[in-house]
A and B are shown apart, each in its own frame.
Chain A
Amino acid sequence: MCGIVGLHLRDPELYPRLGALLETMLCQMGDRGPDSAGVAVYGDHRRVPPGHSAVSLLPGDTPVDELAAALRAVLPGEPELVVTEAGVTTVVAAPVDRDALVTAARTALPTARVIGFGDDLAVYKGIGHPKTLAGVYDLANAQGWQGLGHTRMATESAVNPEGCHPFSVGPDQCLVHNGSFANHATIRRELQAAGHVFDSENDTEVGARFVADRLMQGEDLEKALRLLCERFDGFYTLLVTSADGFAVVRDAIACKPAIIAETDRWVAMASEFRALAELPGIEDARLFEPEPERVYVWTREGGRL
């Protein structure tokens, strides 16, 4: 199973409601994945103020004040940090370059796991029922222009925060997956040989690193996902987000569900319609199911590629 939800807002008037809308969507998919849930929010200024970059962490046993002190000490100029604790996730924002922040986090907190980073992105992971976790993440009060969530029913790897989606392994990139990749071990070895380092045993992480690798090589989301379709065997409905937008793709058999709704104010994707049923203006939305092996991309400007 597993459930996917994603919301890309075109109308800035809706930005303050992003989290509340996403929470409703996520909770509707609770039955599809009650063991864990992860969320990514783009543009939540409470977590990532303008002029800051952010890194999302699973810090393990390190207390949050120690974590912040250690991180601050290795950053140039020891800037003030914006630290948000949300269950097992901690999001740290700092007025520094994102790569510097990630390097600092890996140096100062070698046992912490980086679960997301970028100029605009906060990623939350945790174990438990999506309804409970939405509260832990304070999703209802999140604001922003884009978000996605995943409710997990684990099949390919353990139920732990590391195995929780979204997988965010490139700057401001996220990938969530419903399904299972069959040849992920082979592709994992190829990517490892090319220098990629993996954080988990999860099959979806391989997909995320594959996409990140292609984007790093200068390809766009559409090309990266076309190549993923060529290279990966298995079942998948994927939602992939970046600083530029929002993309959906399904495998050739397309047995994992997906529905897309589009209005002038937003684009939404979910595993099932019931996740979309409460969105404002849904009654007039264009509703359709994405076709197998066709890549759908929306850019931040609102124009479809």
Chain B
Amino acid sequence: MTATVDPGTAPDTATVFDLAKQTVRALNAELHEPTARRYTVLNPQGAHAVAAGVATDLTIDVHGHVGYYAAGMNDGGRITIHGNAGTGVAENMMAGLVRVTGDASQSAGATAHGGLLVIEGSASMRCGISMKGVDIVVGGDIGPMSAFMAQAGRLVVLGDAGASLGDSIYEARIYVRGKVESLGADCIEKEMRPEHAAELAELLAAADMVADPADFRRYGSARRLYHFTAGNEY
């Protein structure tokens, strides 16, 4: 479904949704067939699926903490959560920008195909699990088991990474500035070549984060788990 808004007639001021008085269902119905270009969402109080399924380039500001699957399946929206996000923020994002000014719970950016997810605070376990092309930039730390089975995209961490980073990773690239508690199966440290420093600088700029690419180390797949091994003996 494509919902179109005529930029010439859409109001420039943000349409306000107050979730203390209106339902998430009403909010999302409006966002799926928008009558404005900008939205402000108040009092989310940890509600689930806030601004899920946005399919156009709307600008949405959510003020407060959100629950599960906020901005899930985003396909072009520029969504800012001024607060913390629950499990699965921006899960399966296709395109657009999702920014969390606080911390994110588990499985941030899970299975996301595209777009940019910025978490200014820290992300909990399984950040970027099965990521399929999304870029994720985390200002703080990420929890254990992050980038598990990551297939494509880039994960940038300005803080530390928890245990088993990149377990069973395919082709995503991981950049960590701080300590890595441990690497998962088939994840190894790799050489930081000029093209990596260049793409890292671009990602940091896109995320509005200030850091020196030279301070980061790169991790990726050793490519030993691509094929079943015929020689297994039991």
Contacts and interface: CB of A to CB of B under 8 A. Distances in A.
B86 A273 contact: yes
A257 B87 contact: yes
B46 A289 contact: no
Contact of B65 (A254, A277, A288): A277
A250 B47 CA distance: 23
A234 interface: no
Given A254-B125, A289-B124, A292-B144, A274 B45 contact: yes
Interface in B124-156: 124-125, 143-145
B33 to A, nearest CB: 26
Contacts, number: 41
B106 A255 contact: yes
Interface string B61-84: 000010110000000000000001
B111 interface: no
Contact of A273 (B65, B106, B124, B125): B65
A166 B152 CA distance: 44
Nearest to B83: A273
Nearest to A255: B106
Interface string A268-305: 00001111111000000001110110000000000000
A277 B20 CA distance: 12
Contacts of B87: 257
A287 B84 contact: yes
Interface in A173-198: none
Given A254-B125, A289-B124, A292-B144, A274 B105 contact: no
Interface of B: 45-47, 65, 67-68, 84, 86-87, 103, 105-106, 124-125, 143-145
Interface pairs A-B: 3 shortest CB-CB: A274-B46, A273-B46, A277-B45
13 contacts: A254-B144, A257-B105, A257-B106, A272-B67, A272-B86, A273-B46, A274-B46, A275-B46, A276-B46, A278-B45, A289-B124, A292-B125, A292-B144
